[in-house]
Amino acid sequence: MSYITTQDGTRLFYKDWGTGRPVVFSHGWPLDADAWDAQMLFLVQKGFRVIAHDRRGHGRSDQPAQGNDMDTYADDLAAVLNALDIKEATLVGHSTGGGEVAHYIGRHGTARVAKAVLIGAVPPIMIKTEKNPGGLPLEVFDSIRAGVAGNRSQFYKELALPFFGFNRPGAKVSQGTIDTFWAQGMLGGVLAHYLCVKEFSEVDYTEDLKKMTIPTLILHGDDDQIVPIDDAGRLSVKIAPNATLKVIPGAPHGMCFTRADEINAELLAFLNA
């Protein structure tokens, strides 16, 4: 397996397929790079170079006690891009990974980046505050932490249902999709997953979005039960100066799995625009 080592000695697993224009993926919580299988398989066959890493504490990467914060996640993404000398990349982030993409640009600029895609992403900020009265209350995220600390195996099995919209009337439930969500979650470390909750809920990405001057596509399902579109995509498109919002009707948070053909088509069209 392929790894790069960060400045603090953490080894990050990554996949790097193909030789064309680079598309770099940042996964959501509590998953790993395998969450992008459908997109990476599709795009590598369309002639793109596709790259995805496991966030520290997730998947096959090391599980250090330090660095489980968004600043370090963004620096880790920079370490991957620098180690592989990636240029003119399209950065694609789902959920927490969308925050990572935005914060990377906020901290490191766009010298290596041509475009960005935020899918069901957490920016600008998820938690309810005086400045963000439409956000989710702290109790929501405290319950996630309690689930991770108490019995994360059971918690991930239950979380998969709203994540993929399998709790909706008439939904076609895929046990395999639930199983891969659980397996990816359990491969990561409980400490990193616990600490990451704060990073996807309480970090304010507003200033990062303002620096996203590159063409940016925001994809969001209007039935996202995890990151509600009104609190995220519909706000982010008003902040990022060169962004376009594409609403996927009826799509859940995990639409990269359940609506892969639609998401792949949107990505390909944006990449070729």
Q: What is the percentage of the chain residues whose pLDDT exceeds 70?
A: 100
Q: Mean of the per-residue pLDDT values for the chain? A: 98
- CATH code for the domain in which residue 198 is found: 3.40.50.1820
Residue range 66-92: average pLDDT? 98
Categorize the per-residue pLDDT at 34 as very low, low, confident or very high, splitting at 50, 70 and 90.
Answer: very high
Is residue 74 predicted with pLDDT exceeding 90? yes
Residue 77's pLDDT is 98
Residue range 259-272: average pLDDT? 98
Is residue 1 predicted with pLDDT exceeding 90? no
Is residue 21 predicted with pLDDT exceeding 90? yes
pLDDT one-digit tens code per residue, 131-184: 999 999 999 999 999 999 999 999 999 999 999 999 999 999 999 999 999 999
Q: HSE-up of 187 (CA within 13 Å, CB side)?
A: 21
Residue 215 CB partners (closer than 8 Å, separation 6+):
114, 115, 116, 242, 244, 270, 273
Residue range 24-52: average pLDDT? 98
pLDDT one-digit tens code per residue, 180-219: 999 999 999 999 999 999 999 999 999 999 999 999 999 9
Q: Catalytic residues, which ones?
A: 95, 224, 253
The Cα 217–Cα 24 span in angstroms is 14
**In this structure, are residues 222 and 211 in contact, taking their beta carbons and an 8 Å threshold?**
no
Q: How many domains does the chain have?
A: 1
pTM of the model: 0.98
Categorize the per-residue pLDDT at 232 as very low, low, confident or very high, splitting at 50, 70 and 90.
Answer: very high
Residue 81's pLDDT is 98
Domain assignment of residue 130, given as a range: 2-272
Residue 55: name the closest of 84, 86, 34, 85 by CA.
Answer: 34
